[in-house]
Amino acid sequence: MLRNRSFFVLSLLAIATMILAACGAPAATEAPAATEEAPAPTEAPEVIPTEAPITETSYTTPHPILGDLKVCQALSYCTNKADLLASVYPLISAEEQAKLVMHTFIPRDHWAYAGDENITIYEFDPEKGKALLDEAGWALAEGADFRTNAAGDELALKFTTTSASFRQTWAAIWESQMADCGVRIVRLHAPASWWFGDTTGLARRDYELGAFAWVGQADPGGQTLYACDQIPFPENGWAGQNAMGWCNEEASKNIKVANNTLIKDDRIAAYTIVQQEFTKDVPSIPLFNRTETFAIAADLTGFAPTPGEAYYTYNVEEWEKTGSDTVILGFTQEPASLFTLVEDAFVANAAYTLIRPQQSTSLNYDFQAIYLKQLPTLESGATSNNDVEVKEGDKVVDANGDVIDLAAGASIINAAGETIEYSGGTVTMKQLVSKFEFIDGIKWEDGEPVKAADIELAKNIACDPESGATSFIVCDQTASVEFFEVGYTQTWLPGVQSPLYFLPVWGLYPSHQVISDGRTLKDVPASEWSTLPEVAAKPLSYGPYMITEWVKGEKMVFAANPNWVFGAPKSPNLVIQFITSESAEALLLGGEIDMLDSTTLVGLTETLVAAATEGKIITIINPSATWEHIDVQLFLR
pLDDT digits (tens, 9 = 90+) for 188-198: 999 988 998 88
Specify whether 333 is located in the same domain as 382: no
Is residue 517 in a domain?
A: no
Q: What pLDDT sits at residue 50? A: 40
Specify whether 241 is located in the same domain as 308: no
Assign residue 558 the CATH number of its domain: 3.40.190.10
Average per-residue pLDDT in the chain? 88
Q: What pLDDT sits at residue 28? A: 27
pLDDT of 151 strictly over 80: yes
Task: In whole angstroms, give the CA distance from residue 282 to residue 605.
Answer: 34
Assign residue 240 the CATH number of its domain: 3.10.105.10
The DSSP annotation for 239-271 comes to -SS-TT----HHHHHHHHHHTS-S-HHHHHHHH
Average pLDDT over residues 80-102: 88
Find residue 421's DSSP bridge partners.
411
Average pLDDT over residues 277-300: 95
- CA-CA distances (angstroms) from residue 406 to 389, 410, 423, 493? 12, 7, 10, 12
Specify whether 408 is located in the same domain as 455: yes
Is residue 525 in a domain?
A: no
Would you place residue 42 in the very low, low, confident or very high pLDDT band (cuts 50, 70, 90)?
Answer: very low
Q: What pLDDT sits at residue 599? A: 86
Specify whether 118 is located in the same domain as 218: yes
Is residue 419 in a domain?
A: yes
- Phi, psi at 596, each rounded to 5°: -120, 130
Q: At what angle do helices 264-281 and 249-258 cross, to 10 degrees?
A: 150
Closest CA to 448 of 508, 507, 490, 504: 508
pLDDT of 620 strictly over 60: yes
Task: In whole angstroms, give the CA distance from residue 59 to residue 57.
Answer: 6
Is residue 4 in a domain?
A: no
SS (H, E, C) 123-190: CCCHHHHHHHHHHCCCECCCCCCCCECCCCCECEEEEEEECCHHHHHHHHHHHHHHHHCCCEEEEEEE
447 Rama sector, left if φ>0, alpha if ψ -120 to 50, beta otherwise: left
pLDDT of 222 strictly over 70: yes
Is residue 385 in a domain?
A: yes
Average pLDDT over residues 432-446: 98
* Contacts of residue 137, Cβ cutoff 8 Å, sequence gap at least 6: 149, 150
Average pLDDT over residues 465-480: 92
Going by the DSSP 8-state scheme, the letter that residue 474 receives in this structure is H
pLDDT of 413 strictly over 90: yes
Specify whether 386 is located in the same domain as 243: no
Q: What pLDDT sits at residue 216? A: 67
The number of domains in the chain is 3
**Residue 311: domain span:** 299-365+541-615
Would you place residue 57 in the very low, low, confident or very high pLDDT band (cuts 50, 70, 90)?
Answer: low
Measure CA 56 to chain center.
29
Task: In whole angstroms, give the CA distance from residue 406 to residue 586.
Answer: 63
- Higher pLDDT, residue 323 or 29: 323
What's the predicted TM-score (pTM) here? Answer: 0.69
Specify whether 95 is located in the same domain as 240: yes
SS (H, E, C) 34-101: CCCCCCCCCCCCCCCCCCCCCCCCCCCEECCCCCCHHHHHHHHHCCCHHHHHHHHCCCCCHHHHHHCE
Is residue 524 in a domain?
A: no
Specify whether 107 is located in the same domain as 134: yes
Q: What pLDDT sits at residue 26? A: 28
Specify whether 423 is located in the same domain as 304: no
pLDDT digits (tens, 9 = 90+) for 343-377: 878 899 999 999 999 999 988 778 999 999 999 99
pLDDT of 37 strictly over 60: no
Specify whether 153 is located in the same domain as 50: yes
Task: In whole angstroms, give the CA distance from residue 561 to residue 445.
Answer: 6
Q: Among residues 476, 492, 508, which one ends one of the domains?
A: 492
pLDDT of 314 strictly over 90: yes
pLDDT digits (tens, 9 = 90+) for 560-607: 999 999 999 999 999 999 999 999 999 999 999 999 998 888 778 889
Specify whether 314 is located in the same domain as 279: no
What is the Cα Rg of the chain in Å?
25
Q: What pLDDT sits at residue 165? A: 82
Specify whether 631 is located in the same domain as 563: no
Task: In whole angstroms, give the CA distance from residue 131 to residue 136.
Answer: 9
- Phi, psi at 264, each rounded to 5°: -65, -40
Would you place residue 236 in the very low, low, confident or very high pLDDT band (cuts 50, 70, 90)?
Answer: confident
Task: In whole angstroms, give the CA distance from residue 107 to residue 517.
Answer: 49
Specify whether 253 is located in the same domain as 175: yes
Q: Which of 2-11, 159-168, 420-429, 463-472 has the lowest mean pLDDT?
A: 2-11
Is residue 483 in a domain?
A: yes
pLDDT of 30 strictly over 50: no
Is residue 2 in a domain?
A: no
